[in-house]
Structure formats: C-alpha cells, structure tokens
Amino acid sequence: MLVMRPAQMADLGEVQRLAADSPIGVTSLPDDTERLRDKIAASEASFAAEVSFNGEESYFFVLEDSTSGKLVGCSAIVASAGYSEPFYSFRNETFVHASRELKIHNKIHVLSQCHDLTGNSLLTSFYVVPELVGSSWSELNSRGRLLFVASHPERFADSVVTEIVGYSDENGDSPFWDAIGRNFFDLNYAEAERLCGLKSRTFLAELMPHYPIYVPLLPDAAQEAMGQVHPRAQITFDILMREGFETDHYIDIFDGGPTLHARVSGIRSIAQSRVVPVKLGELSKGGRQYLVANGQLQDYRAVLLELDWAPGKPVTLDLEAAEALGVGEGASVRLVAV
C-alpha cells in the first residue's frame, strides 16, 4: 500500500533520489543534500509547532510504499509564499495606446513584474516516479496535501497558488528565458534554475526587468512558450485544474510557465471532502476510489482506497487500511472521491 506521510530526516537519501530525477525548473526540489536536509528539518519543525495563522511554516510530504519502504513521490505546501523573501511573478496586463487625432486605439499585451501573490499558500515540490504518472497515485500525491489543508485551515491562507514548470526543449533550453532572462545573466536556463535551487530565486528575480515588457516585441518562440506546460509537469497541471485552480493571470518570470491560483473554499478536495466516523470490517468490492486522510498533524497519513461508502454513513475500513491510517473504531477520517 502507498501511504502519504510527513517527511522525516531518515528519508533524506530517498528524497535525494527523487530530486535527482525531477524536471529542470522544480527549484523547490534541488538535487543537493544540504538544501534537502534543511527542507526536511524545516518541515519537521513546522509539523511540531503550535500555529494559529499562516507564517513561515512549510510542510513536506512523501509517498511511501509501505511494503518495501521505498519512496515513490513527494510534494509540499509552503504556508505563506514570500514570507521571508518576495515572491515574484509576471502579471499579464493590457496597455491601451491611443491617438485621438489619428483615430488609433491599440490594446497591447504586456508583462509586469509583481509580487501580488505574496502571502498566499504555495504548493511546491511535486514529483512521482514515472510509472505512477497518470495513475490515481498521482492524485494522492497531489491532493493528499489539500486534505491536510482542509483539516488544518488555521495554518494556511485563504488562497493557494502554484507555479507549473514551463516549456523547455529536450536540450533544456527555454525560449522564454532566452528572450528575457538571458539578457540579464550570462547563464542558460538549466544553469539559472540550478542556481535558484541551490540558493534562492529572489536574487535573480531582483535583477530581472522591473519595467513592463511588451509581449509583441518578444520572439515568436518566446510568445508561444508563455503559459505552456513542460510535458513532465502536465500531470500536476491537469490534477489542479480539475481541482478548480485558474490560470491566465500570472506566469513564471523565468520560463513563462503558468501560475495557478484558487480560493481555498473553491478547491474541490477541500469543499467536497467529508469527515466521517470509522467502522472496522471487510472492505466491500466494486466501490469507487477515495482519498482518505486521518486529519492528524505530525502523524498525518493519507491513502487511496476502493470503498463502498454512502454519504451520511460511517466508512468501513479493514485492518490494513486502519493501521496504515493510524485509526481505530470510532475515530474519524476525511475522504473525497478521486
């Protein structure tokens, strides 16, 4: 059985194995031992802290095969984007250029650097091994953290954002970066993203142009790359769009990938999830798939189960599922259909 749980320092080696295979652009999952150690330590401290509002906390989850002990995925939530440093994005805007005398009225697409999304909670660090891409386990790896938000709303903002890795070719070149960022740094896209992962995105973002960029002046390839998703990031994009996230307003300042945004109250896994009591017994065959979470904090667990459950009724779990979730008869779990 695959179980989602908080990462522990003992997972460091396995997490680095996952990070080594993650796509260029996932700077929140760097292939660097010290950075990953710091990430896990910050997460452990966040889970242990008493929190009444969203601040500098970050919560890092792993997806573990309980039989082999191997990790097959990971994901994270930052409680407040830009808490310790600005969270930069490009905002899509329209400027109007008009001449009354010439009777010309033009609307022009521009990109303006901003930190509008600072303070929102941020989904980061999503990765699943290739054989699980497109499976229901990907749903667990992504949406399991949303069930955590539903169970602990005081720890998060009213809105959630996430940056999706943008388009780059098989050589790791990004047309959007080459048209804008490379003019300010003598680095290719892969080197720039690696540097961001090892240090911080902020110091590069601060050297990017602060004046509006007129999109029609960019090369065609850069314009076409705006809002495009890297093939390896398509799965997380699709899951979150089904969850009710929206795009079009913001893009990443480095690769032009879409930045998704949603109010917590409108996210499907949160709005449609239900807290129900547990009854121990045999799992019924022929039910539908549900994501099930125990709603706890440091001992948080989430699994994927096939259940024959009816709203308003207790949910029947067998001993294996109950043990995986760390719950017993009469306890409560939060569930939502896949």
Torsion on CA atoms 86, 229, 123, 269, rounded to nearest 10: 140
| Residue 105 annotated among the catalytic residues of the structure | no
Write down the catalytic residue from 152, 230, 249, 261: 230
Q: Taking Cα atoms as reference points, which of 287, 323, 324 lies closest to residue 303?
A: 324
Strand-pairing partners, residue 315, are: 278
Q: Taking Cα atoms as reference points, which of 338, 337, 332 lies closest to residue 310?
A: 337
Q: Give the Cβ contact number of residue 328 at 10 Å.
A: 12
Question: Residues for the chain: how many in total?
Answer: 338
Q: Is 123 exposed, middle or buried (0-12, 13-18, 19+ CB in 10 A)?
A: buried
Q: What span, in angstroms and rounded, lies between the C-alpha atoms of 244 and 315?
A: 26
With contact defined as beta carbons under 8 Å apart, do 30 and 178 qualify? no
Residues annotated as catalytic are: 230
